[in-house]
Amino acid sequence: MSTYSASKTVALKQSAEEGAALSGRPPSLAVSLPSGGTGVFASLAWVGFGISCLWWPDIGDWPRTHQLAAAALVIAGAIFLASVAGNRLGRFNAGLQRRAPWLLASALFLTLWEVATAKFAWLPLPFFPPPQSIIEVYTDDLPKLLDSILASVKLQLGGYLIGATVGFLTGVSIGWSRSVGYWVHPVLRFIGPLPATAWLPIAFFTFPSSWSASTFLIALATGFPVTVLTWSGVASVSNAYYDVARTLGAKPFFLVRKVAIPAALPHVFVGLFMGLGSSFAVLVVAEMIGVKAGLGWYLQWAQGWAAYANMYAALIVMSLLCSGAITLLFRTRDRLLIWQKGVVKW
Amino acid sequence: MVAHALAEAVAYPAVGASLDVERISHAFDIDGNALPVLEDVSFSVKPGEFIALLGPSGCGKSTLLRLVAGLGAPRSGVLREDGDPVTGPFPSRVVVFQDPTLFPWRTVWNNVALGLEAQGILESQRQRVDAALDLVGLSQFRNAYPHLLSGGMAQRVALARALVNDPKILILDEPLGKLDSLTRITMQAEIVALWQRKGFTTLLVTHDVEEALFLANRVIVFSNRPARIKADIAVDRPYPRHRGDPKLAELRRNILGLLGLDATW
């Protein structure tokens, strides 16, 4: 199953382009073949991948080759059965049909990867390890990897929540109150554009622990875009909305809570999205430099030992986590902003 | 549709207030220069009267409405509602603007509920929201978001949002200006029916002479900016009125003459 997650990651990276291509151009691969056809081809490609693992002898010592081959054949069987079962599987079948070209492509990619590394060594070691070595990381180095994931998630979540909350409240205050804006705006202009990583040296000796320093930096990286976009959202609310609410008896607090904030929410979510992106960058750098835990640290450690398979394995996990976080954010937005027309689908 | 809804709606006694406009003058600051928009405007409105304010586009009628609503203070002069000076917005004077300005993040029901919610009385008075939606015939759309509504439906929701507060003075700022002519004709009749039923005082800004004559007891004609009162014309015809009424046609010719448009007649 781990190989499958690897192919899923590859799929995720390009899913945006794929979505556009599939919906934009009518005669795509998915449509031109009869129902279930692409699925059968995909399952054949996975059989091919499994055989490619077994056909040639390994160059080098890769203990997970047979397991990888077995997993590939199981996946091939599952795809085949699901394709043949067709409409009896209902929505699952529709999803499979849509993803079949991607399943096919990822099997081809994995086969190429396998052949180019473990079988003929066209790509130099240790920089390009074969797929089975990444499986090996997930099976043999799992405890350390899980610890790192937990540390990263904890640090990121704490910093992001603090940054987003402070940024949101600051943004609403400067957007609403002229006097708060007068005092906060210059500070924001002076400090905000500074990359949060530039604070690293100062943060690590002024804060009591590397953990609190990193939380501060992540909060800073999140807070700036959230503040600016919340502020611009609140500032751009049409006066007509305030006029309507005021003639209906609204007091200032009601105007902030029920007019300014809901009207600004689309902007706020852009800020939260941007903040998420920049906080990921700070998280990894902070973990590499100061905090002796987390996926960033794991990457650094793997590189120190020239354990490139561990690096790729950690990168894949990191990509899944970041992508998952963004998906979660977008789901939340879609739920809260259901009244908007035509929001971007992630 | 409305007549039917009217029969079913729960009656909330709302008696119109009187309005005194006393020597109001107002100006805007544009690049440091004062641009006068209202000049010594005075008139009185009896409780329950329907007044149309008619004048060329941009003459300052809408500014006067904003002052009546309490959304601004005049440079000089006083506005009185039932004898008390107007100092700020209050839900006894509710405005329906040219744009419906529904809150897009609220459903139709929640938009109508806005006034009661702002005044903190929504929980005990939820049935008033339902009644107001019935009144404008949009109960079926209570859970819809505004972007699904047509222009006429959106303006009906805006009307319900105003009426749910049982205003003493309803301020209509060209509410039908952006609607297609068929919807406008329907809604003119609906507004008359609502006004007769509820008894609120109504102030309507329009630049449609026919609309003013079809709806109002009195038509006040303004000059170009800065707005001064040119004429105060009583429209002494019973309701429901007919658009072909020769008396109205005569008044229409007089008013167009006052506006300098008699050549087009």
Predicted confidence at residue A345, as pLDDT, reads 56
Predicted confidence at residue A343, as pLDDT, reads 53
Q: How does residue A338 score in pLDDT terms, banded at 50, 70 and 90?
A: confident
Predicted confidence at residue A50, as pLDDT, reads 92
Q: What is the mean pLDDT of residues A30-44?
A: 71
Q: What is the mean pLDDT of residues A146-151?
A: 92
By the 8 A CB rule, do B67 and B26 touch?
A: yes
Q: How does residue A15 score in pLDDT terms, banded at 50, 70 and 90?
A: very low
Whether the per-residue pLDDT at A181 is higher than 80: the answer is yes
Q: Which of A238, A248, A257 to mutate to test the interface with B (most CBs of B within 10 A)?
A: A248
CA A60, A61, A64, A69 dihedral sign is: positive
Question: How would you write the pLDDT of chain B (265 residues) with one tens digit per residue?
Answer: 444 444 444 344 447 888 888 888 888 888 888 888 888 888 899 888 999 998 887 778 888 888 998 998 888 888 988 888 888 888 889 999 888 999 999 999 999 999 999 988 888 888 889 988 988 888 899 888 998 888 889 999 998 999 898 889 999 998 888 888 888 888 888 888 888 888 899 999 988 888 898 999 999 988 887 888 888 888 888 888 888 888 888 888 888 888 877 666 5
- Residue A6 CA, distance from chain mean position: 14
Is some CB atom of chain B closer than 8 A to the CB atom of A179? no
Chain A neighbors of B114, CB-CB under 8 A: 244-245, 248, 250, 258
Both structure tokens of B117 = 């919610």
Alpha helices in chain B (DSSP H): 2-8, 61-69, 108-112, 114-118, 126-135, 151-163, 181-198, 209-215, 246-258
* B71, B161, B165 ranked by CB distance to A246: nearest: B71
The residue extents of the domains of chain A are 2-129, 142-336
Q: Which residue reads 């449609």 in tokens?
A: B208
Predicted confidence at residue A35, as pLDDT, reads 58
Is some CB atom of chain B closer than 8 A to the CB atom of A246? yes
Contact criterion met (CB < 8 Å) for A245 and B161: no
Q: How does residue A21 score in pLDDT terms, banded at 50, 70 and 90?
A: very low
Residues with Cβ within 8 Å of residue A216, at least 6 apart in sequence: A159, A199, A203, A207
Looking at this protein, which amino acid is placed at residue A150? Answer: L
Looking at this protein, which amino acid is placed at residue B18? Answer: S
Predicted confidence at residue B181, as pLDDT, reads 85
* B66, B118, B145 ranked by CB distance to A248: nearest: B118
CA B224, B229, B230, B231 dihedral sign is: positive
The rounded distance, in Å, linking the Cα atoms of A288 and A299 is: 8
Q: What is the mean pLDDT of residues A126-149?
A: 89
The top-level CATH class assigned to A142-336 is mainly alpha
Predicted confidence at residue A6, as pLDDT, reads 41
Predicted confidence at residue A341, as pLDDT, reads 64
Percentage, residues of chain A above pLDDT 70: 88
Q: Report all structural domains of chain B as residue ranges with CATH numbers, in order of start.
A: 2-264 (3.40.50.300)
The rounded distance, in Å, linking the Cα atoms of A268 and B46 is: 48
Q: Which residue reads 């500032």 in tokens?
A: A235
Whether the per-residue pLDDT at A32 is higher than 80: the answer is no
- Closest CA–CA distance from residue A297 to any residue of chain B (Å): 44
Chain A neighbors of B145, CB-CB under 8 A: 338-339
CA neighbours closer than 13 Å in the CB half-sphere of residue A165: 7
Is some CB atom of chain B closer than 8 A to the CB atom of A241? yes
Q: Tell me the ipTM for this assembly.
A: 0.85
Backbone angles phi, psi at B110, to 5 degrees: -70, -30
Contact criterion met (CB < 8 Å) for A245 and B104: no
**Closest Cα partner for B170 from B145, B194, B150?**
B194
Q: Per residue in A226-256, pLDDT tens?
A: 999 999 999 999 999 999 999 998 889 999 9
Chain B neighbors of A246, CB-CB under 8 A: 71, 89
Residue of higher predicted confidence among A23 and A335: A335
The rounded distance, in Å, linking the Cα atoms of B245 and A30 is: 68
* B97, B114, B147 ranked by CB distance to A245: nearest: B114
By the 8 A CB rule, do B173 and B96 touch?
A: yes
Please give the torsion angle defined by the CA atoms of residues B195, B201, B207 and B212, in that order, rounded to the nearest 10 degrees. 50
Both structure tokens of A211 = 């953990």
State the average pLDDT for chain A.
85
Predicted confidence at residue A210, as pLDDT, reads 87
Chain A neighbors of B117, CB-CB under 8 A: 254, 258
Contact criterion met (CB < 8 Å) for B93 and A247: yes
The rounded distance, in Å, linking the Cα atoms of A205 and A201 is: 7
Whether the per-residue pLDDT at A62 is higher than 90: the answer is no
- Kindly calculate the radius of gyration of chain A based on its CA atoms and give it in whole angstroms: 25
By the 8 A CB rule, do B95 and B162 touch?
A: yes
Is some CB atom of chain B closer than 8 A to the CB atom of A338? yes
Is some CB atom of chain A closer than 8 A to the CB atom of B208? no
Both structure tokens of A222 = 């999140």
